[in-house]
């Protein structure tokens, strides 16, 4: 059943081993470093595995609470539809202290950009425009590693001075891995404002 929740239910969920997890409604959130305070009064769409929700009617701005284990294929239609309709989106994420924050998922930037391709097996490859060769990284767990991705983007930035990054993610990825790839690119280079956009691959 599709559902839209009108307001966020924000909590920290106690987990096994005494850990804590940032949560909105039933959605356990992905974690990110480049985050902002959540705006107030925006309608909220909750996305759980197998249950991608529609936008509220006539919404011009929406907060999305996507469970970290949903596939990118379940989130991408919301992003694509929002861009087509001019709807402003923010995505709930957790920060390092398990506080609920938000981040953007912008369209790909125009012009020359550093390119990140993230495949369904969790491999992240980074290359520069006009260069076929790419540097890639993949963990044993086949999950995107934010720190390694950040390092590869930083290296590409230093080689090119490009501040634009295009992230191309396989729709079979978990949402958690998509957030890690985008956040790694956004936070690669201290003191630099990176313009990072997301598209499906």
Among the candidates 49, 81, 103, a domain finishes at: 103
Q: How long is the chain?
A: 201
Same domain flag for 81 and 135: no
Q: How many helices (H) and strands (E) does the chain have?
A: 3, 12
Integer Cα distance of 12 and 146 in angstroms: 22
Question: Do 133 and 183 belong together in one domain?
Answer: yes
Does residue 1 lie in a domain region? Answer: no
Would you say residue 5 lies in a domain?
A: no
Q: Which domain holds residue 192?
A: 114-200
- pLDDT tens-place string over residues 69-83: 999 999 999 999 999
Are both 15 and 99 inside the same structural domain?
A: yes
Task: Identify whether residues 81 and 120 lie together within a single domain.
Answer: no
- Of the CA atoms within 13 Å of residue 176, those in its CB half-sphere come to 19
* pLDDT (tens digit per residue) in 117-170: 999 999 999 999 989 899 999 888 888 999 999 999 999 999 999 999 999 999
Domain end: 78, 103, 128, which one? 103
- What are 16-43's pLDDT values in tens digits? 334 568 999 999 999 999 899 999 999 9
Would you call 139 helix, strand, or coil by DSSP? coil
Q: Are residues 45 and 21 in the same domain?
A: yes
The tally of domains found in the chain comes to: 2
């Amino acid at each position: 059943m599709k559902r839209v929740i009108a307001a966020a239910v924000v909590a920290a969920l106690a987990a096994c081993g005494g850990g804590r997890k940032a949560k909105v409604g039933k959605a356990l959130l992905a974690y990110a470093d480049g985050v902002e305070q959540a705006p107030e009064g925006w309608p909220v769409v909750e996305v759980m595995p197998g249950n991608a929700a529609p936008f509220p009617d006539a919404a011009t701005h929406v907060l999305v609470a996507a469970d970290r284990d949903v596939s990118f294929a379940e989130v991408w239609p919301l992003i694509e539809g929002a861009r087509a309709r001019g709807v402003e989106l923010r995505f709930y994420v957790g920060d390092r202290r398990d506080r609920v924050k938000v981040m953007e998922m912008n369209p790909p930037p125009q012009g020359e950009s550093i390119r990140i391709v993230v495949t369904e097996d969790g491999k992240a490859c980074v290359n520069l425009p006009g260069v076929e060769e790419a540097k890639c990284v993949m963990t044993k767990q086949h999950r995107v590693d934010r720190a390694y991705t950040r390092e590869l983007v930083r290296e590409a930035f230093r080689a090119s001075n490009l501040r634009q990054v295009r992230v191309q993610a396989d729709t079979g990825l978990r949402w958690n891995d998509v957030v890690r790839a985008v956040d790694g690119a956004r936070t690669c280079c201290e003191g630099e404002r990176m313009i990072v956009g997301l598209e499906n691959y």
